[in-house]
Amino acid sequence: MDSIQIPKHYADAFKSNVFHKAQQATSVLAGKVRMESHDYGAESIFYDSYEATATNKRTERAQKTKIVSTDRDRRSVQADFYDWADLIDKIDKVKMVHDPESPLTKAATMAFMRRKDQVIYEAGLGTAFTGQKGIVPVVLPTTQKIVAFDGTTTGDIGNLNIRTLAKIKRKFFDANVGTGSDLAVDGAMFNIALRGAQIEQMLNDPTITSMDYAAVKALVMGDIDTFMGFKFHIYNGLAQDNAQITYSNATGAIGSGTNTGTAIYDRCLVWYNDGILLSQGQDMRVEIDKRPDLSNVTQIYADMHLGAVRMEEVKVIELIAKAA
C-alpha cells in the first residue's frame, strides 16, 4: 500500500522545502566502542580476550622453565538484519514540487543510526554470552551498578552529582581500567550515555565548585562534551524503570545500606571504549527499485547487518539516576 505520509507534502498544502521532525539524526555511541567486521555468512562470531598473567623469577642457571597458563575469555556476537522500506507512487511525484527520494533516504539513514545506538546500549547493559560455544549467559553483576548518591541524603533515587562520578572513576581505576598508556591510544576514554536531566542535576549539586559549575554549564550549552575525564553523550534512548532498589548512600552500592528508591530512574550507561564491541557485517545499504507488482511504484529499501556484545564486565557500569 502507498505511504500514508506522502500526501502531507503535497504542493497545495506545503512549501517545496522538506523538513524532518525533531529526532536523533546521527549515531551517538558507535564511534566510542570497539569496531570489528562480522562475516556476512556467519550467524555468530567469537572474540577472545586474555586475562592478566605474572612473570616467574629465575633463581639459577639453566633453570627448568615454568609454564604460565594464560586464561582466556570468549564472547559471542550474533548479528541481526534490520531493514526499512517506503514507497513512492508516480501520483505522489506529480503532486509534489520536490522529488521525495532524497528526503526519504535521509529518514532511513537517521532510523538506522538510532538502531545502531540501541544495539550498543542494550549490549552494554544486557546479557553477554561466553564459553567455548558462546552459549553461557553472563549478566552485568550488581557490583557493576551504582545508584547516584551524595553521602547524606536518605530516601529515593538520587540526582547525579560529582561525588557519584568520582566513585565511578575510582571503581574503574581499582579494576585497572584506563590506568595505563591505553588512554592515549586510539582515542580510548571513559564514556557516559545520559539524558539532559542528569546534566541539569549536576548543576544543582550543592558541593559543586565555581570551576566545576562553569564546566558543567559548558556541557549544558554544548560548548564542551567532557568533564572529570568522562566524555558525555546525550542519548534519549535510555531505558527507564521504577523497580524498588535498596542501596547504600555512602557508596551507591546496590543491595546494601538502607536507602530504598522507588521513583522512576534512568539506566545510564558508563563504559570504557573497548568494553563494548560492535560487530558489523554490513553498514546501511540503500536500493531504489521499481515494483511491478504495485503499479510500478518506486520502492526505497535499506538494510543493515550488525550485533554487539559487552566484552568485559569491569569496563561497563550501569549508573542509576533520577529521571527528572
Instruction: Check residue 133 and give its pLDDT.
Output: 84
Instruction: Check residue 10 and give its pLDDT.
Output: 44
Q: Which residue has the higher pLDDT, 188 or 248?
A: 248
The pTM for the full model equals 0.85
Tell me which DSSP letter residue 95 carries: H
- Comparing CA positions, the residue from 247, 255, 227 lying closest to residue 158 is 247
Least confident of 1-5, 39-43, 80-84, 295-299: 1-5
Least confident of 22-26, 144-148, 207-211: 22-26
Residue with cell 532524497: 102
Instruction: Check residue 100 and give its pLDDT.
Output: 61
Question: Residue 15: is its pLDDT beyond 50?
Answer: no
Tell me which DSSP letter residue 11 carries: T
Q: For 101-114, write each residue's pLDDT tens digit.
A: 678 888 888 899 99
d(CA 51, CA 71) in angstroms, rounded, equals: 5
Confidence of residue 204 (pLDDT cuts 50, 70, 90): confident
Percent of the chain scoring above 70 in pLDDT: 86
Contact 232, 270 (CB under 8 A): no
CA 113 to chain CA centroid, nearest Å: 12
Question: Residue 236: is its pLDDT beyond 80?
Answer: yes
Instruction: Check residue 21 and give its pLDDT.
Output: 62
**Could you write out the DSSP letters of every residue in 136-173?**
EEEPPPGGGEEE---SS--SSPPPP-HHHHHHHHHHHH
Percent of the chain scoring above 90 in pLDDT: 43
- Comparing CA positions, the residue from 100, 95, 1, 20 lying closest to residue 300 is 100
Question: Residue 143: is its pLDDT beyond 90?
Answer: yes
Exposure string of 161-187, with b = 16+ CB inside 10 Å and e = fewer, is bbbbbebbbebbeebebbeeeeeeeee
CA-based angle 121:151:237, to the nearest 5?
A: 15
Grid cell in block for residue 188: 580510548
Tell me what percent of the chain is helix, strand and coil, each rounded to the nearest 5.
25, 30, 40
Q: For 250-296, write each residue's pLDDT tens digit.
A: 999 998 878 887 789 999 999 999 999 999 988 888 888 899 999 88
